Homo-oligomer: A and B are copies of this chain.
Amino acid sequence: MNPEDFQKLNRVIHEKGRMAIMSLLAATPSVSFTDMRDTLGMTDGNLTTHIKHLQKAGYVGVTKSFRGKRPLTTLSLTTEGRAAFADYIDALEQIVKSARS
């Protein structure tokens, strides 16, 4: 077990809800706010708070537009967010490997 593996874990991404959001966004070019909320079973307020945190870190981009007359909020990973998530998954993998050995 290597203590550095844990120090490497990105605090912004490590929170369970944000981990789920980042994982969902990593698997797709973009997702609407409502689709994400329903997929992850979060409240509007909870998802909004997490997204603000991820936006502030520069990991998630938020686009506001319209679908017909209805406002549409679309979420996607930034290049920086995609890289940070890849690093985070690498660190997790190291921890799992070390626990298995």
Contacts and interface: CB of A to CB of B under 8 A. Distances in A.
A95 B23 contact: yes
Contacts of A93: 96
A84 interface: no
The main secondary structure of chain A at its interface with chain B is helix
Contact of A23 (B1, B26, B85, B89): B1
A9 B16 contact: yes
29 contacts: A1-B20, A1-B23, A1-B24, A1-B26, A1-B27, A3-B20, A3-B40, A3-B41, A6-B17, A6-B20, A6-B23, A6-B40, A7-B16, A9-B16, A9-B19, A14-B14, A14-B16, A19-B95, A23-B98, A23-B99, A27-B99, A85-B99, A89-B95, A89-B96, A89-B100, A92-B95, A92-B96, A93-B96, A96-B96
